[in-house]
Amino acid sequence: MRLPLFWLTDYVDPGMEASKLANRLAMTGTEVDRVHAHGVTALENFVVGRVLEREQHPDADRLSVCQVAIGEGDVATIVCGAPNVAAGQTVGVALPGSVMPDGTKLKKAKLRGIPSNGMILAEDEVSIGMDHAGIMVLDDDLTPGTPLADVLPISTDVLELEITPNRPDCLSVYGVAREVHAATGQPLAPAPWATDPGTPGPIEGVTIEVEDPEFCPRFTARLFEDVTIGPSPRWLKARLMAAGQRPINNVVDITNYAMLLTGQPLHAFDFDLVAGGRLKVRRAGEGEKMLTLDDAERTLDGSMHLIEDGDGPTSIAGIMGGQRSEVQPTTTRVLMEAANWNGPTLQRTSQKLGLRTEASGRFEKGLAPEQAMEGQIVATQLMLELTGARLVDGTIDIGGEGPAPVTLRLRDEKVTRLLGTQVPIREQADILEALEFGVHDAGDGLDVTVPAFRRNDVTREVDLIEEVARLWGLEKLPATIPGHGMSARLTTEQRLRRRAADALVGAGFSEAIGWSFQAPELARKLRIDLPAVKLRNPLSEDLSVMRTTLLGSLLNSVRHNTARGTEDVRLFEEGSVYFDRPHGRTPTAAEARSTPLPDERMHLAALLTGRLHPASWGESNPPTADFFAAKGVLETVLGALRVPFTVVRGSDPFLHPGRAARVLIGGEDAGWLGELHPGVTEEFDLGRVAGFELDLSAVLPHANVAPLYEDLTSFPAIRQDLAFWVPADRTASELVEVVKGAGGKLLKDVSVFDVYAHEGRTSLAVRLEFRAGDRTLTDEEIAPQREKVVKAVASKLEGELRG
């Protein structure tokens, strides 16, 4: 909300400059986005002037050459283009050096050969109105040379306030004035609605009916006759302009002014266009249509409300009026409406229609019914003062004021307990009274009565404590650390996840964070069809489906880098993926009665492409990423976690069919490992890419986090190398399994160290490591084991020992 300071000072003088006030308001709970200067600067150059002579410009039909008295006997020659300029007028003059609202600096100029030493001002040139048809003509009793700023509000600071949703009462000049009063201690003028020129009772010829009082808790109306529509006075226009509203005509301006001052939106009907002199608030029919002020036809439904007259709908209640009964230049009878609408219902309507107005934005936050009469009274005063209107007797008031105010007990002990420090009870009382709460001493604290305009926000003791705390000064609070004496640490799973990421970082991988949502297209590119969670209201089609694999976002990230000239890319990601299927956790009570949540899992994936390490003068062609490079990384990660695993051939559709594997941990599937299918990498414009992806819930439970000591140092191991010819379809892991099975208890480790294919057979060389915990082994002692191994390989794998 834009708060012009010169308007605020009608009700409270903050007694400090704008930036200080902004800071004080921020520290008491009213955020100030920024302070800006409205209007002109270099004020000393703006003065009152009197046009002494006006002559036609010799070379320009539309220009006048004026001699203007600007005080102290000085006379300036000013060339003026306004049609209404005339000798004898008192005017506003900007002298050279003036800085205009758009920041331009006025200079001496020559206009069609005649020097001009200034400018005679129109309203819009100093941002106090929209009128540019002619210059402003001021009162004749002003003395030339008088600073113009003393006469017209041509310059003011404006605070741009960020009002929190719980404080709709602060969406008004008087509402903020109350806060400023409480925050600064400066005196507050009486409310502008303190004097009501109106009278209660029915109005002859006006019938108002409210069908749905829950939606419309209060409806007030007054009737004015003999209204003359015309421009508003300068002081009013200047206030609207500074607050960011465009002046239109006196009646519309009055509704806006009353709204800005009191927070209550109003609507003015041309009463002669209200058919039958009657208005009715009712629910709209399903599919009912009406034409709104913005010239759009709106289709309503049964949850919405409208106001109709004898001929049908005229307004969407609380949101926008209709064209049919709009105030016209010829209007002479005005029915002024100030009503209160149910915020949530109105908000839904406004959302459904995609129609948000200044009024609806205020109503949806929940105004107090009392505000309706406050706005009505201010409007009445101005209608009488500015439009020549006569108020017809009576005031329609359906619904009346809101519920009786509540009184809450504020316990001194509770204040201390919540804030951690004592606030003297007298200060508590002073603060609350400054905020217009009623305060009475009670045994253990205060009995506090909540004013109507805070009815929705302050309902409990704790809400009162907040009021006390924010004005007492949060800067006076102590900074203490709770003495709970509890210790905390990361969970095993959290520590393992960090360990896995650290291992990957050590192995040369950088961490990526991809988008959780992706395009449906991505699943097609990856040739997968897993049950995915779809968003009902995505930002775009490209971000409409939740990912079921980290592969897609990682590939996008790899591609982002290769496309920018980084050829060697090693990236990993640890993040959630989401499946549209039951999750298998025990549901909470709320989950049990709701739509089932998807199955959300933490995955870890890594991809690499390009060279495994940079080329150098000693090695111009370093090895590049392939299946075994990826497997090496997988071994590094799972080794760091102490998770034993095996792999089997796999067939994931996005992988190279000959270089695809599944990772098994504890006998269960934990993810994929492989080189990506060239058809897939082509879609991403990438070369060979290898990698893996693991479901961490299948990995982490198998980590050996507290290994027991094994004596590997007291006695040396004995190593034996054996090479076998095996048929080509036998795998290394089969050989290792057979060797392990036959090698006996002393065989501690078997590893493949050489592979060589020849004529349909494969030579696999394995290193066997035997160790005993209590003695040094000899070749003789393990010879029988070696024999058993050779026999087992022969019988189970048709393998033979190479010579």
Judge contact between 801 and 755, C-beta under 8 A: no
Tell me whether residue 457 is annotated as binding.
yes
Amino acid at 527: R
* Other Cβ atoms closer than 10 A to 531: 11
User: Site residues for other proteins, window 359-388 (CB under 8 A)?
Assistant: 364
- Of 2, 9, 16, 27, the one binding other proteins (CB under 8 A) is 27
If binding is defined by CB under 8 A, does position 547 make contact with other proteins? no
Q: Per CB under 8 A, which region of 149-157, 411-419, 435-443, 665-673 contacts other proteins?
A: 411-419
- What CA–CA distance (Å, rounded) separates 246 from 481? 53
If binding is defined by CB under 8 A, does position 518 make contact with other proteins? no
Judge contact between 182 and 471, C-beta under 8 A: yes
Q: Which is nearer to other proteins, 426 or 484 (CB)?
A: 484
- In sequence order, the 6+-apart residues with CB closer than 8 A to the CB of 25 are 31, 32, 159, 161, 176, 179, 180, 183
Q: Which is nearer to other proteins, 329 or 614 (CB)?
A: 614
If DSSP codes are grouped into helix, strand and coil, which group holds residue 723? strand
- Of 69, 429, 446, 512, the one binding other proteins (CB under 8 A) is 512
Cα dihedral 85, 86, 89, 94 sign = positive
- What CA–CA distance (Å, rounded) separates 285 from 300? 7
- Residue whose tokens read 């229609």: 353
- What CA–CA distance (Å, rounded) separates 218 from 216? 6
- Of 37, 109, 505, 755, the one binding other proteins (CB under 8 A) is 505
- What CA–CA distance (Å, rounded) separates 473 from 468? 8
Q: Which is nearer to other proteins, 29 or 92 (CB)?
A: 29
- Of 104, 110, 403, 488, the one binding other proteins (CB under 8 A) is 488
Distances in whole angstroms, Cα of residue 307 to Cα of each of 213, 316, 337, 390:
13, 6, 11, 25
If binding is defined by CB under 8 A, does position 470 make contact with other proteins? yes
CB of 493 to other proteins, least distance (A): 9
User: Site residues for other proteins, window 159-178 (CB under 8 A)?
Assistant: 164-167
If binding is defined by CB under 8 A, does position 83 make contact with other proteins? no
Q: Which is nearer to other proteins, 110 or 484 (CB)?
A: 484
Q: Per CB under 8 A, which region of 191-199, 238-246, 494-502, 730-738 contacts other proteins?
A: 494-502
If binding is defined by CB under 8 A, does position 623 make contact with other proteins? no
If binding is defined by CB under 8 A, does position 612 make contact with other proteins? yes
CB of 217 to other proteins, least distance (A): 16
User: Site residues for other proteins, window 717-746 (CB under 8 A)?
Assistant: none
Helices and strands in the chain, H and E counts: 20, 38
CB of 232 to other proteins, least distance (A): 34
Judge contact between 257 and 233, C-beta under 8 A: no
* Other Cβ atoms closer than 10 A to 179: 24
Edge-first strand listing for the sheet containing 445-449: 407-411, 445-449, 438-442
CB of 507 to other proteins, least distance (A): 7
If binding is defined by CB under 8 A, does position 450 make contact with other proteins? no
- Residue whose tokens read 């001929």: 311
If binding is defined by CB under 8 A, does position 564 make contact with other proteins? yes
Q: Which is nearer to other proteins, 357 or 557 (CB)?
A: 557
Cα dihedral 335, 336, 342, 348 sign = positive
CB of 27 to other proteins, least distance (A): 6
10 Å CB burial of residue 383 (0-12, 13-18, 19+) is: buried
Half-sphere exposure of 107 (CA within 13 A, CB side): 4
3-state DSSP percent of the chain in helix, strand and coil, to 5:
30, 30, 40
Q: Which is nearer to other proteins, 22 or 335 (CB)?
A: 22
If DSSP codes are grouped into helix, strand and coil, which group holds residue 472? helix
Judge contact between 357 and 320, C-beta under 8 A: yes
If binding is defined by CB under 8 A, does position 684 make contact with other proteins? no
Judge contact between 552 and 518, C-beta under 8 A: yes
CB of 264 to other proteins, least distance (A): 21
CB of 671 to other proteins, least distance (A): 20
- Of 140, 295, 441, 475, the one binding other proteins (CB under 8 A) is 475
Number of residues that bind other proteins (CB under 8 A): 100
Q: Which is nearer to other proteins, 436 or 568 (CB)?
A: 568
Q: Which is nearer to other proteins, 100 or 415 (CB)?
A: 415
If binding is defined by CB under 8 A, does position 303 make contact with other proteins? no
- Of 20, 613, 791, 802, the one binding other proteins (CB under 8 A) is 613
If binding is defined by CB under 8 A, does position 567 make contact with other proteins? no
- What CA–CA distance (Å, rounded) separates 338 from 404? 21
If binding is defined by CB under 8 A, does position 498 make contact with other proteins? yes
* Other Cβ atoms closer than 10 A to 797: 20
Q: Which is nearer to other proteins, 429 or 558 (CB)?
A: 558
Cα dihedral 142, 144, 150, 156 sign = positive
- What CA–CA distance (Å, rounded) separates 523 from 527? 6
Closest CA to 240 of 136, 133, 328, 129: 129
If binding is defined by CB under 8 A, does position 584 make contact with other proteins? no
- Of 506, 657, 716, 727, the one binding other proteins (CB under 8 A) is 506
If binding is defined by CB under 8 A, does position 351 make contact with other proteins? yes
Closest CA to 605 of 629, 570, 640: 570
Amino acid at 649: R
If binding is defined by CB under 8 A, does position 462 make contact with other proteins? yes
Tell me whether residue 466 is annotated as binding.
yes
If binding is defined by CB under 8 A, does position 760 make contact with other proteins? no
If binding is defined by CB under 8 A, does position 494 make contact with other proteins? yes
If binding is defined by CB under 8 A, does position 35 make contact with other proteins? no
- Of 133, 406, 477, 801, the one binding other proteins (CB under 8 A) is 477
Closest CA to 449 of 437, 433, 431, 467: 437
If DSSP codes are grouped into helix, strand and coil, which group holds residue 55? strand
- Of 501, 766, 768, 797, the one binding other proteins (CB under 8 A) is 501
- Of 507, 643, 680, 696, the one binding other proteins (CB under 8 A) is 507
CB of 356 to other proteins, least distance (A): 11
User: Site residues for other proteins, window 213-242 (CB under 8 A)?
Assistant: none
If binding is defined by CB under 8 A, does position 413 make contact with other proteins? no
Q: Per CB under 8 A, which region of 65-73, 300-308, 538-546, 653-661 contacts other proteins?
A: 538-546
User: Site residues for other proteins, window 264-293 (CB under 8 A)?
Assistant: none
- Of 220, 347, 548, 549, the one binding other proteins (CB under 8 A) is 347
In the chain, how long is the greatest CA-to-CA distance?
Answer: 131
Tell me whether residue 467 is annotated as binding.
yes
Q: Which is nearer to other proteins, 289 or 534 (CB)?
A: 534
- Of 199, 421, 651, 751, the one binding other proteins (CB under 8 A) is 421
- Of 119, 334, 383, 569, the one binding other proteins (CB under 8 A) is 569
Judge contact between 123 and 145, C-beta under 8 A: no
Residue 664 parent element (H or E): strand 655-665
If binding is defined by CB under 8 A, does position 539 make contact with other proteins? yes
Q: Which is nearer to other proteins, 103 or 354 (CB)?
A: 354
Distances in whole angstroms, Cα of residue 100 to Cα of each of 37, 106, 158:
11, 7, 16
- Of 185, 213, 310, 508, the one binding other proteins (CB under 8 A) is 508
If binding is defined by CB under 8 A, does position 618 make contact with other proteins? yes
Tell me whether residue 774 is annotated as binding.
no
Judge contact between 248 and 309, C-beta under 8 A: no
In DSSP notation, 57-82 reads -TT-TT-EEEEEE-STT-EEEEEE--
Please give the annotated binding residues, written as ranges.
457, 463, 466-467
Please give the annotated binding residues for Mg(2+), written as ranges.
457, 463, 466-467
